[in-house]
């Protein structure tokens, strides 16, 4: 499958920097990371999420199939709701983190940015004899996002003010400029968040209208803001870590009777994870993935992923540590730098104290 490129690239600002996010070729930065991050944390940012594939799962067995394929319970997911879930393989390893949108006939499955090809291949491989059709809507529909403490104001000016205050994970079929669109209240940065699924032909127009109201933010700012509130990204499972080691238990419904990967997850839970993931901050430079974490020269873990956090004004990373050291408030050594393990969320979102009015 060819690399996924944005259909909005032609209307992105001049000078946009692009890069790879798994299979997708995405806008990393339109202007500067600092400006785009500040928009997410202080005002409102518009996101080109076309690096996520949207798959339509339909057919008479669609619900049963999705119950089997998803780690969370979607049996009663109505057409007015969406939810986040992991998709696991038989070994309990993460295939992708998805958002599932309920529909009257089946569901829409939104992949992580750049994770769609792998997800599509997996779903088709496990469909077996199920009477389901899995259709890739890439090329037909484009996903745009809004994130920020005042994103609700943009929704009001751009779409409909009443949609801004929808309950979290609500989905509405509505119109924008006479076009049918699918609107959802979501959010992955801890700030108010919304998504609009718009027909391909109208996406550039909606993008242009949105950037009149909000600052375009690229993938780099989005991932940073996600990390600061401990929202999982593909970096966390790129090394084949299991759900418990990642700490992504909340994206798995262990009370559900059956789903692909459940036995492996249960076995791991019974056995107890030997390593767990904890956030840390400190030092002057961003450590590379794989940098050893030590105490008195003894290795107790390894860095999974790290960036420079604008919110903290310091490097911020995730480390896999021995389970008995996987706690906040510890002084450890990463490479040559002293760091401290942190309590999540690492940055308190402004939206938590900003009412929608």
Pairwise CA distance, residues 115 & 133, whole Å: 20
Site for another protein, residues 198 to 257, rule: CB under 8 A:
229-231, 247, 249-250, 254-255
Is residue 84 near another protein by the rule CB under 8 A?
A: yes
Query: Which one, 111 or 231, has the nearer CB to another protein?
Result: 231
Q: Are 183 and 172 in contact (CB under 8 A)?
A: yes
Cβ within 8 Å of residue 320, ≥6 positions away: 241, 245, 275, 276, 277, 301, 302, 304
CB of 278 to another protein, least distance (A): 8
Query: Which one, 172 or 325, has the nearer CB to another protein?
Result: 325
Pairwise CA distance, residues 272 & 266, whole Å: 10
Is residue 328 near another protein by the rule CB under 8 A?
A: yes
Is residue 345 near another protein by the rule CB under 8 A?
A: yes
CB of 186 to another protein, least distance (A): 9
Copy the structure tokens of residue 300.
């107790």
Q: What is the DSSP letter of 63?
A: H
Site for another protein, residues 253 to 272, rule: CB under 8 A:
254-255, 269
Q: Are 115 and 23 in contact (CB under 8 A)?
A: yes
Contact with another protein (CB under 8 A): which of 312, 335, 337, 354?
A: 312
Query: Which one, 35 or 73, has the nearer CB to another protein?
Result: 73
Is residue 348 near another protein by the rule CB under 8 A?
A: yes
Is residue 325 near another protein by the rule CB under 8 A?
A: yes
Q: Are 45 and 216 in contact (CB under 8 A)?
A: yes
Stretch that binds another protein, among 37-45, 57-65, 85-93, 327-335 (CB under 8 A): 327-335
Task: Report cis status (omega within 30 of 0) of the bond before 158.
Answer: no
Residue-wise burial string across 324-333, b where 16 or more C-beta atoms lie within 10 A, e elsewhere:
ebbeeebebb
CB atoms within 10 A of CB 217: 31
Is residue 314 near another protein by the rule CB under 8 A?
A: yes
Site for another protein, residues 46 to 75, rule: CB under 8 A:
none
Copy the structure tokens of residue 344.
């999540």
- Comparing CA positions, the residue from 61, 220, 232 lying closest to residue 133 is 61
Query: Which one, 215 or 231, has the nearer CB to another protein?
Result: 231
Cβ within 8 Å of residue 210, ≥6 positions away: 46, 144, 146, 154, 158
CB of 159 to another protein, least distance (A): 21
Is residue 302 near another protein by the rule CB under 8 A?
A: no
Is residue 170 near another protein by the rule CB under 8 A?
A: no
Mark 272-301 with x for binding to another protein (rule: CB under 8 A) and - for no binding. ----xxxx-xx------------xx-x-x-
Query: Which one, 230 or 234, has the nearer CB to another protein?
Result: 230
Query: Which one, 11 or 307, has the nearer CB to another protein?
Result: 307
The phi and psi torsions of 287 (rounded to 5 degrees) equal: -75, 145
Handedness of CA 39, 41, 43, 44 (dihedral sign): positive
Pairwise CA distance, residues 63 & 41, whole Å: 37
Is residue 352 near another protein by the rule CB under 8 A?
A: yes
Q: Which residues bind another protein (CB under 8 A)?
A: 84, 168, 187, 229-231, 247, 249-250, 254-255, 269, 276-279, 281-282, 295-296, 298, 300, 312-314, 324-332, 338, 340-348, 352-353
């Amino acid at each position: 499958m060819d690399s996924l490129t944005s259909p909005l690239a032609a209307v992105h600002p001049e000078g946009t920097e692009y890069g790879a996010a798994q299979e997708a070729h995405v806008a990393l930065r339109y202007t500067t990371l600092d400006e785009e991050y500040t928009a997410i944390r202080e005002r409102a940012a518009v996101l080109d999420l076309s690096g996520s594939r949207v798959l339509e799962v339909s057919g008479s067995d669609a619900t049963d199939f999705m119950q089997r394929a998803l780690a969370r319970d979607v049996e009663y997911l109505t057409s007015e709701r969406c939810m986040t879930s992991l998709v696991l393989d038989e070994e309990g390893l993460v295939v992708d983190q998805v958002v599932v949108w309920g529909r009257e006939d089946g569901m829409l499955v939104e992949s992580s940015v750049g994770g769609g090809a792998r997800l599509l291949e997996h779903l088709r491989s496990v469909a077996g004899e199920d009477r389901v059709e899995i259709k890739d809507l890439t090329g037909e529909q484009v996903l745009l996002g809004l994130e920020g403490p005042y994103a609700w104001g943009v929704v009001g000016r751009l779409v409909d003010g009443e949609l801004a205050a929808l309950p979290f994970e609500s989905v509405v079929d509505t119109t924008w400029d006479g076009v049918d669109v699918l609107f959802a209240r979501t959010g992955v940065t801890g700030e108010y968040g919304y998504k609009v699924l718009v027909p391909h032909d109208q996406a550039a127009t909606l993008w242009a209208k949105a950037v009149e109201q909000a600052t375009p933010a690229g993938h780099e700012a989005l991932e940073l803001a996600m990390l600061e509130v401990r929202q999982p990204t593909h970096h966390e499972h790129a090394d084949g870590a299991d759900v418990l080691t990642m700490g992504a238990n909340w994206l798995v419904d262990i009370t559900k009777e059956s789903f692909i990967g459940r036995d492996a997850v249960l076995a791991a839970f019974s056995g107890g994870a030997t390593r767990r993931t904890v956030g840390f901050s400190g030092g002057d430079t961003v450590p590379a993935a794989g940098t050893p974490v030590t105490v008195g020269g003894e290795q107790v873990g390894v860095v999974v992923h790290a960036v420079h956090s604008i919110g903290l004004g310091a490097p911020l990373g995730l480390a896999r540590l021995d389970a008995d050291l996987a706690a906040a408030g510890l002084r450890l050594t990463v490479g040559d730098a002293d760091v401290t393990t942190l309590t999540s969320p690492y940055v308190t979102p402004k939206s938590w104290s900003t009412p929608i009015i």
